[in-house]
Amino acid sequence: MGRIFIAGAAGNIGSALIDTLGDKAEVVAGVHSPEKGASLAGDCVEPRVCDFGDLDSMERAMEGCDRMFLVLPLHERLARYGRVAVDAARKAGIKYIVRSSAYGASSDAHWRLGREHGMVDQFVEDSKIPFTVLRPNTFMQNFSTFMAPMIRSGVIALPEEEYKVSYIDVRDIAACAARLLLDSAGFEDGFYALTGPRGLTLAEVAETISEAAGVKVAYTPVDEETFIQGLDQAGVPEWNRNMLVSLSRVVKLGMLGNVTQAVEYLTGAPARTFADFAAESAAAWK
């Protein structure tokens, strides 16, 4: 068995996947800079600097690998990056792709971010390389990373009203990907929607974080216009802002609250709960 190429290895899911694989496989970590690579290097991990926008660079990075994990950054060139990665995989002789997409994605989705991810999923399917597509819901880790300052202020201010989202721990996405990359028999050419064990409103999220961290956090619904103004003031690029707005609209259509058993089906272990995640992440909110 050859090595596994992880595209986007320094991101949330990529780094969790490296931890999950441990010494079970030789990994090539695709990163954007030597500094990112240095933080991932290990006995079973070889960092290689590559550029998602450069076909030759991606092909060189995949040299000697026979499987690829493909996760892409939230960037206006997301679909283009996906096309380049798939074309490079074909040229490099990759024999199997695990693609981490987005919950509800499809090439004809009525919401923009779902369409962007769905286009990449279509590139993977059209490549004729055996594949499995994972479509995870919104990450629990968003609350402990870029949303942590908002939570430390005591307020979660988002335009999602009382609709539920079945948030998933990125470690469960990584566990599903690792299982497939080590043994894909019976799962090839499949699509799996990944969720946590229950749908939660943001009021329930705030209550859970409050209990876990011993702090006072409340959910305050805001209208979409206020949400957009906040993103603009924070310097969020226009494309990213539009994608986040489209995601909030899908939440309010009630589309992200469903629960699947796919994590347990793929890994044999139930998906982690938000309460467990919050207990482990409490330091981020104090």
* Arithmetic mean of pLDDT, 110-135: 96
* Arithmetic mean of pLDDT, 196-224: 97
- Band (155; pLDDT cuts 50, 70, 90): very high
Neighbours of 51 (CB within 10 A): 14
Using the predicted structure, report yes or no on whether residue 165 has a pLDDT greater than 80. Answer: yes
pLDDT tens track for 86-96: 999 999 999 99
pLDDT for 104 equals 94
pLDDT tens track for 176-206: 999 999 999 999 999 999 999 999 999 999 9
pLDDT for 284 equals 97
Reference 70, options 25, 145, 146, 11; nearest CA is: 11
* Arithmetic mean of pLDDT, 226-231: 92
- Annotated domain spans of the chain: 3-138+169-195+258-272
pLDDT for 4 equals 98
CATH of domain 3-138+169-195+258-272: 3.40.50.720
Quick check: 48 and 37 in contact, CB under 8 A? Answer: yes
Q: At what angle do helices 170-182 and 12-21 cross, to 10 degrees?
A: 50
What does the alpha-carbon distance between residue 215 and residue 151 come to, in Å, rounded to a whole number? 9
pLDDT for 234 equals 87
